[in-house]
Amino acid sequence: MIHIIKPGLLTTVQDLGRYGYQKYGVITSGVMDHLAHRIANLLVGNEEKKATLEVTLVGPVIQFEKDALIALSGADLSPTINGKPVRMWRTLFVKKGSKLKFGRCRQGCRTYIAIAGGINVPKVMNSQSTYLRAGIGGFEGRALEADDRLVTGELSRLSKDITSIITEEVDDEASELDWSIATSFISTYSSERYLIRTMEGRQFDLFDETSRQVFFENEFKVTTQSDRMGYRLKGANLHVAEAGELISEAVAFGSVQVPSDGNPIILLADRQTTGGYPKIGQVATVDFSKLAQMKPGDKLRFKKITHEEAQVLYLEQEESIQQLRQGILLKARR
Amino acid sequence: MEVSFSPLGDTAVVIEVADAITPKAKSDVQILSACLDLNSPEWMLEYVPAYTSVTVFYDPLKITRNNTLPYEIVCKEIRKMCNTLKGYEDPVSRTIKIPVCYGGTFGPDLDFVAKHNGLSNQDVIDIHTSGEYTVYMIGFAPGFPFLGGMSERIATPRRESPRLSIPERSVGIAGMQTGVYPIETPGGWQLIGRTPIRLFQAENKIPSLLRAGDNVVFFSINQKEYLNWKE
């Protein structure tokens, strides 16, 4: 059991999303940063799809009411356990009664807290993700609040193995494993952070020549009107060559649509299932995590890649996650 | 069935059956959806039917491939499915009647829609309630019906910039389309009224009151009837 002492700005229970109900208009929801979520789960011996807590900019204060194996990934919000700084991207063992707190945001926007065994909240339409607008899923269909108590799940065999390794090594209140994950993952968040690899969108050709050009050349700023549904950007104004109404169709995570005011919107985890605005771009899956870690005021540029390149990058990213998964299995089984 | 494919990012493909909203397009979308339900390929995460297209979301890792990129294989397999489609009859349509309280604070854009089309507010209401609509798809928000069959005489473009918040159960117009917002959400439609009935019911196995293929009729109610409405 974990006890939420302070909830932070927006802390929700999320998994990899709710699939199969978009045809009834039910959005997928799910984590914004799938990579950080999956890695945090792997570090504690969970299946990647287990629910984690998604923390936004201002972290919660959480007390652990029993010993727990946890990992923190994504944004670095200066985490501490009982006042001592702890590292991101590590398997951590916390003793009963310990308090996890966060401080200043050093980098990124969203931190993921994975707990071995996952979080026991009921599945709604086959997912534990919180869908805030409809008030369903997650913990009572809402963001966490002070004094909420969340029950954690049964430990997997792998989580038990990792726990026994970590508890052999130290006797402190909080301890960490010296396993470090490939820097290539963390570099996702640091190198060329603002360059977002993007394909031409389905209606790219409908835009006028200037718009097609500046879309891939100019810088855009993430405005304060940005949330889990989408980021409204400010930069060059984009326009279709000939005005006309489009026939609504499906949209995806990373679709860049342009309403007639000319300011693009990048659709994200809480996006609607379909849209009627022309899509000038489509961000490649490989850079979803970079997007998820942007906050209002951050700048970005869309770097043009082809559909083929995006597919190859997707497969490469999955391959490196597969290697991480294997690496953890090998270390835990010794 | 004649279809064309184009990618929606690196994990989805849009299958287009037509480039205009027609009864044939609607029936093709339903046939294709039924076919995807029946075959349900292992790599398919889900599909999203729309007016003239069905978008299939897939898991590239579940696709067996030999040095071929996932997208090509998905297209090939779907094309194969389309070629085997045989006669399919549209299921019998239900008709659902939806009460709407038009104008005032419930329909802040009724004036704009009227002015844009050179009509009075009452004309817009009369035209909107005299139409017989078909649910082409559910999308955009949980249980949100996209309806075909609206009169061109009240067609109005979307707002230049979407509203940040639209109250649940608002009835709107966007271009040639009309629909109802089941939950509070941002959106760019012109709002002409509000209905007292719930279109999204999360507790039900099929969470949407309306389904693709349903017929819908709107009728006008006054504010008092709206407030006293019981489902």
pLDDT of residue A19: 95
Mutate to test the interface with A, among B8, B10, B72, B189 (most CBs of A within 10 A): B10
pLDDT of residue A9: 96
Give the one of A249, A285, A308 whose C-beta lies nearest to B55's C-beta.
Answer: A249
Distance from CA of B57 to the nearest CA of A (A): 9
Give the one of B48, B71, B206 whose C-beta lies nearest to A273's C-beta.
Answer: B48
Measured distance CA(A72)–CA(A39) in Å, rounded: 9
User: Which sign does the torsion angle of CA B141, B143, B144, B145 carry?
Assistant: positive
Pick from A247, A127, A201: which is nearest to B54 by CA?
A247
Give the one of B6, B139, B188 whose C-beta lies nearest to A25's C-beta.
Answer: B139
Residues of chain B neighbouring A258 (CB-CB closer than 8 A): none
pLDDT of residue A32: 98
**Chain A contact for B181, CB < 8 A?**
no
Q: How confident is the model at residue B31 (pLDDT cuts 50, 70, 90)?
A: confident
Across the beta sheet with B44-49, the strand order is B4-7, B12-16, B53-58, B44-49
Terminal CA-CA length for chain A: 30
Distance from CA of A308 to the nearest CA of B (A): 7
> Residue B126 above 70 pLDDT?
yes
pLDDT of residue A207: 96
The structural domains of chain B, ordered by start, are 4-83 (3.30.1360.40), 95-227 (2.40.100.10)
The total number of residues shown for chain A amounts to: 334
Q: For A127-137, what is each residue's pLDDT tens digit? A: 999 999 889 99
> Residue A185 above 80 pLDDT?
no
Distance from CA of A284 to the nearest CA of B (A): 6
Q: For A37-80, what is each residue's pLDDT tens digit? A: 999 999 999 999 999 999 999 999 999 999 999 999 999 999 99
Distance from CA of A275 to the nearest CA of B (A): 6
**Chain A contact for B162, CB < 8 A?**
yes
Q: For B129-161, what is each residue's pLDDT tens digit? A: 999 998 988 887 889 898 888 999 999 999 888
Out of A37-51, A171-185, A319-333, B46-60, which region has the weakest mean confidence (pLDDT)?
A171-185
> Residue B69 above 70 pLDDT?
yes
In B86-125, the residues whose Cβ lies within 8 Å of chain A are: none
Q: How confident is the model at residue A246 (pLDDT cuts 50, 70, 90)?
A: confident
Mutate to test the interface with B, among A18, A38, A245, A247 (most CBs of B within 10 A): A247
* Inter-chain residue contact A253 with B9, CB threshold 8 Å: yes
Return all residues near A68 (Cβ < 8 A) that are at least 6 apart.
A2, A93, A94, A115, A116, A152
**Chain A contact for B190, CB < 8 A?**
no
Residues of chain B neighbouring A247 (CB-CB closer than 8 A): 20-21, 50-52
pLDDT of residue B106: 95
Task: Work out the average pLDDT over A97-124.
Answer: 96
Residue appearing with tokens 């279109």: B199
Task: Work out the average pLDDT over A14-31.
Answer: 95
> Residue A260 above 90 pLDDT?
no
* ipTM of the prediction: 0.94
In A202-261, the residues whose Cβ lies within 8 Å of chain B are: 202, 225, 229, 245, 247-255, 259-261
With vertex at residue B58, the alpha carbon angle to CA A215 and CA A278, rounded to the nearest 5 degrees, is: 30
Measured distance CA(A119)–CA(A131) in Å, rounded: 16
Mean per-residue pLDDT of chain A: 92
Q: For A76-94, what is each residue's pLDDT tens digit? A: 999 999 999 999 999 999 9
Extract the tokens encoding A228: 């889990």
Give the one of A25, A247, A308 whose C-beta lies nearest to B21's C-beta.
Answer: A247
Q: Does domain A195-315 have CATH number 2.40.100.10?
A: yes
**Chain B contact for A297, CB < 8 A?**
no
Measured distance CA(A70)–CA(B139) in Å, rounded: 38
Nearest CA in chain B to A199: B9
Mutate to test the interface with B, among A197, A227, A249 (most CBs of B within 10 A): A249
Return all residues near B148 (Cβ < 8 A) that are at least 6 apart.
B21, B26, B51, B133, B134, B136, B177
Give the one of A26, A247, A314 whose C-beta lies nearest to B207's C-beta.
Answer: A26
Mean per-residue pLDDT of chain B: 90
Alpha helices in chain A (DSSP H): 34-43, 157-169, 183-187, 209-215, 288-292, 307-333
pLDDT of residue B46: 95
pLDDT of residue A138: 96
* Inter-chain residue contact B52 with A260, CB threshold 8 Å: no
> Residue A183 above 90 pLDDT?
no
Domain ranges of chain A: 2-181, 195-315
Q: For A190-199, what is each residue's pLDDT tens digit? A: 655 689 999 9
Out of A284-298, B54-68, B78-92, which region has the weakest mean confidence (pLDDT)?
B78-92
* Inter-chain residue contact B60 with A251, CB threshold 8 Å: no
Give the one of A202, A250, A318 whose C-beta lies nearest to B48's C-beta.
Answer: A250
Q: For A305-320, what is each residue's pLDDT tens digit? A: 999 999 999 999 999 8
Give the one of A135, A202, A285 whose C-beta lies nearest to B10's C-beta.
Answer: A285
pLDDT of residue A170: 62
